[in-house]
Structure 1
């Protein structure tokens, strides 16, 4: 079911920090330009690796550590440290590669007919997903949340040719659709490796307070993309409901309501309370590792091109 819906453009893959660890050897650690950092590794680096020593107990709490850096040194040094981490050529993970292969499969299935491409949402700051699309020869539109500065709270649309604009009136902006190519939405900002001044990171406690205080975050999203989100299933990858940022996003986009379309979350060994929490939002929990799920999804996507095949 997931594979067929994905090839119809009817599934929104929603990528969290766990995606960046997919395929990484269990004994490996963050290595700049090779292995992307986990949230705790990034927090530990900020706590001790930029000329500052975090004075409190848990230096793996990214939210609190980044807030401490922001208060102690300022937003500029925090952004510089984050840029230094993510301005490197990290290899895309198996999840990124699988998702980047989907547009070509959609075109093959459509056989020249009109088709819809997926919307991909991520809260990760790196550009590994974009690089997977570039490696696959796929164009995409990029939608990036702006966390600071005069355009704070708005999104920037970057086209395949590199031109960009800040979206000032989202409910009338029609320059983004999923009809021509996929859209990647980075709703917590991202590194900009070509223009450091355009870096944007929703990472500190203050950023999340600002995120929560907006009257309706959904109204900041371009109208066509928002409509797409309301008519799709979601596939949550690399997330746990214990993740603070995911709970914030779900609350701002849907409040306490469940999703209107049944959705899925891949999470190994979830706790019982997480199963109940996902179920309240009409999300079926798939108890498996991302590596195994990605392998299965690869297989089902290929087989889904055959009409008689039943997929998971």
Structure 2
């Protein structure tokens, strides 16, 4: 069976194959028997190695136009399917220099169907691997603000609210850290702890709690998994509450990044287990307002401490060994972060600093499609490739859609 009949259904597919087999290379006059080569290849996407699982779709027309302008053979460099297929694509694309109309469109559609099939196979494999990691306790949920969307105001929303209230004069009124820094200086005489107390009163004492018994609620779903460790940069206690609802005995610990930290160290005999998991708050907790990383000065101090700056007077580590070791050995599931957020990038790279690429476990980040001013597909391809280099696979879904699909795959819950 040829690759055409496998990935391209067309009423006159046989005639199309014969016609494509008669395409002539306009530059050399050599005939290319494309169909026979395609049939010989007999490539199955499911046979591709795991390391070749990232296959962004390409628009062959754009590639052909670029190749014409450069006067060189087309090379679909991102297609990791082996040398034989690479050679065949180049040969086929070269033949398309002089081909137009229906035949060119047919081949373009064929490639698109092939890439689409590869994506489906890749996505299915990624889902299976994620489910396996969660079921076997080899995964660490790492939650950001987006995991609480609809329950708590997100950073940009809160920043704009306070920017309007206190007359923030700059254009970046969606930048929470900068807005809070301004408010602290201009309204609270630089007293960040006092500002944080006001923030807690406004946000957390009026918040609506999620339904922790709902199977599609993200905290509830994660609490149902038998995992020993959860990490979050959120200030809320939704994870801890949900774990208790699901008959777990969680321990909370807050990163001691700030001067005068009152966060108690973990008991020496305590080891996180699925029945008694640890919830570690990297950026503080609303019950200890001074621990919250909110303003620009907070983020600067925090990142200096995280990087091991020698100027700090405290000898306590921001990330205890039990958490640090797990983050470096287990797969991480990022939920609620923007992969374009520099704070997230610095945090991720610092926590995994020193790990060789071959030692990095496979990680997942749940993301919404980025907003762009140009080609959305190009933006996604760039972000996928960029994070593939960090061994992070992107799931382009909302938290709600991701939760429903994960519940269906793990427990057969209806979507």
Q: After TM superposition, is the score higher than 0.5?
A: yes
The aligned residue for residue 15 of structure 1 is 143
Task: Name the structure 1 match of 2:252.
Answer: 142
Which deviates more from structure 2 when the two are superposed, residues 217-226 or residues 40-49? Answer: 217-226
Check if 1:246 corresponds to 2:337.
Answer: no
Partners of 2:167 and 2:265 lie apart in 1 by 37
Partner of 1:182: 277
* Shift in alpha-carbon separation, 1:176–1:92, aligned structure 2, 3 A: farther
Aligned partners of 1:45 and 1:233: how far apart in 2? 37
Q: Conserved in 1, the CA contact under 8 Å of 2:327 and 2:352?
A: no
Q: What's 1:61 paired with?
A: 175
What residue is the counterpart of 1:213 in the other structure? 304
Q: What is residue 404 of structure 2 aligned with on the other side? A: 295
Point out the structure with max Rg over C-alpha: 2
2:218 is matched with which residue?
95
Q: Offset of 1:16 from its aligned partner? A: 1.2
1:76 corresponds to? 193
Question: Do 2:255 and 2:319's aligned partners in 1 also have CA atoms closer than 8 Å?
Answer: no
Residues 194-233 of structure 1 mapped to structure 2, 5 A cutoff = 199-214=290-305, 215-216=307-308, 219-233=317-331
Cα pair distance change 1:90/1:39, threshold 3 Å: same
Q: Post-superposition shift, 1:279?
A: 1.1
Deviations 1:34-87 (Å, cap 9, x if unpaired)?
x310111121233244xx321222321101101112222121331122211123
353, 362, 365: which one pairs with 1:265? Answer: 365
Gaps of 5+ in 1: 25-34, 104-116, 157-164, 305-312
Q: Check 1:255–1:227 CA distance in 2 against 1; reply closer, same or farther (3 A cut).
A: closer
Q: Which stretches of structure 1, 4 residues or longer, exceed 4 Å deviation after superposition?
A: 256-259
Shift of 1:256: 8.0
Distance in 2 of aligned mates of 1:38 and 1:18: 7
Question: What SS does structure 1 have at the residue aligned with 2:169?
Answer: coil
Under a length normalisation based on structure 2, what TM-score does the superposition of the two structures give? 0.57
User: Which whole-Å CA distance do the structure 2 matches of 1:279 and 1:2 have between them?
Assistant: 16
Distance 1:256 1:45 in 2: 40
- 1:308 is matched with none
2:153 maps to 1:43: no
Q: How many residues align?
A: 258
Distance in 2 (alpha carbons) for counterparts of 1:18 and 1:191: 17
- Measure how far apart 1:118 and its partner are: 3.2
| Preserved contact between residue 263 and residue 282 of structure 1 (Cα < 8 Å) | yes
Counterpart CA distance in 2 for 1:246 and 1:256 is 18
In structure 2, relative to structure 1, the CA distance for the partners of 1:240 and 1:89 (3 Å cut) is closer
Name the CA distance, whole Å, in 2 between partners of 1:10 and 1:265: 16
SS at match of 1:5: helix
Structure 2: runs of 5 or more not aligned = 1-128, 212-216, 310-315, 371-378
CA contact (8 A) 2:327 2:351 kept: no
Aligned partner of 1:6 in structure 2 is 134
Q: RMSD of the alignment, in Å? A: 2.7
- More RCO (CA 8 Å, sep 6+): 1
Summarize the Cα distance change of 1:206–1:176 in structure 2 as closer, same or farther, 3 Å threshold: farther
TM-score of the superposed pair, with normalisation by structure 1 = 0.74
**Secondary structure, in 3 states, of the residue corresponding to 2:133?**
helix
Q: Is the 8 A contact 2:142 2:332 kept in 1?
A: yes
